[in-house]
């Protein structure tokens, strides 16, 4: 598949994802966030998509980036880290963004503690990919590319 959009996909990462590779490797693996970025960038190139890849430990900054995405991005991949399970502010920003958003997790949150089973982000996401390690990001990008390809072909269809 090859999708061409004028705007990039925002790939946004929340708290503690800067610690990937060092942090609990039995759960999150040995790749750093920079390694994940390289993977996502090369996969995006194959799909014809551009990405803007970022990480923050601050809830307000994540909210600001999601607000910015509304005008500047064509879609969002979001691993909000622990904010997934706690942040109504992130949910509200995503709902306001009116963009296709995919929720991503490296780990299978459903095999973990009960507090990770609930996600505010899911309420505003088209879908969720979790449990595939760094490949969760590229699988999520495939899902988003499908949605964007459908949107582009719909907008070209005669009324």
The set of catalytic residues is: 28, 105
Of the residues 56, 87, 107, 138, which one makes contact with ligand DHK according to CB under 6 A = 107
Q: Return the range that interacts with ligand DHK (CB under 6 A); candidates 52-60, 81-89, 95-103, 141-149.
A: 81-89
Residue 109 lies near ligand DHK (rule: CB under 6 A) = yes
CA distance linking residue 140 with residue 159, whole number of Å:
30
Which residues neighbour 61 within 8 Å (Cβ) at sequence distance 6 or greater? none
Of the residues 1, 34, 82, 96, which one makes contact with ligand DHK according to CB under 6 A = 82
Residue 112 burial (C-beta neighbours within 10 Å; 0-12, 13-18, 19+): middle
Question: Is the Cβ–Cβ distance between 74 and 107 less than 8 Å?
Answer: no
CA distance linking residue 130 with residue 109, whole number of Å:
7
Residue 79 beta carbon to ligand DHK: minimum distance, rounded to whole angstroms:
5
Binding mask 117-156 for ligand DHK (x = CB under 6 A): ----------------------------------------
CA distance linking residue 1 with residue 64, whole number of Å:
31
Residue 10 beta carbon to ligand DHK: minimum distance, rounded to whole angstroms:
17
Return the residue matching tokens 């963004």.
97
Residue 16 lies near ligand DHK (rule: CB under 6 A) = yes
Q: Which residues bind ligand DHK (CB under 6 A)?
A: 16, 79, 81-82, 84, 105-107, 109, 116
């Amino acid at each position: 598949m090859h999708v061409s959009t004028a705007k990039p996909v925002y790939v946004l990462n929340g708290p503690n994802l800067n610690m990937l590779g060092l942090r609990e490797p039995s759960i999150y693996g040995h790749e750093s966030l920079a390694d994940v970025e390289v993977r996502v960038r090369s996969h995006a190139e194959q799909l014809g998509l551009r990405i803007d890849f970022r990480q923050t430990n601050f809830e307000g900054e994540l909210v600001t980036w999601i607000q910015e995405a509304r005008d500047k991005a064509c879609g969002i991949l979001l691993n909000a880290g622990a904010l997934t399970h706690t942040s109504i502010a992130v949910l509200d920003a995503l709902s306001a963004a009116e963009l296709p958003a995919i929720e991503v997790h490296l780990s299978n949150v459903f095999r973990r503690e009960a507090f990770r089973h609930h996600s505010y982000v899911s309420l505003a996401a088209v879908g969720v990919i979790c449990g595939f390690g760094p490949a969760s990001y590229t699988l999520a990008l495939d899902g988003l590319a499908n949605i964007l390809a459908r949107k582009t072909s719909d907008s070209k269809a005669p009324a």
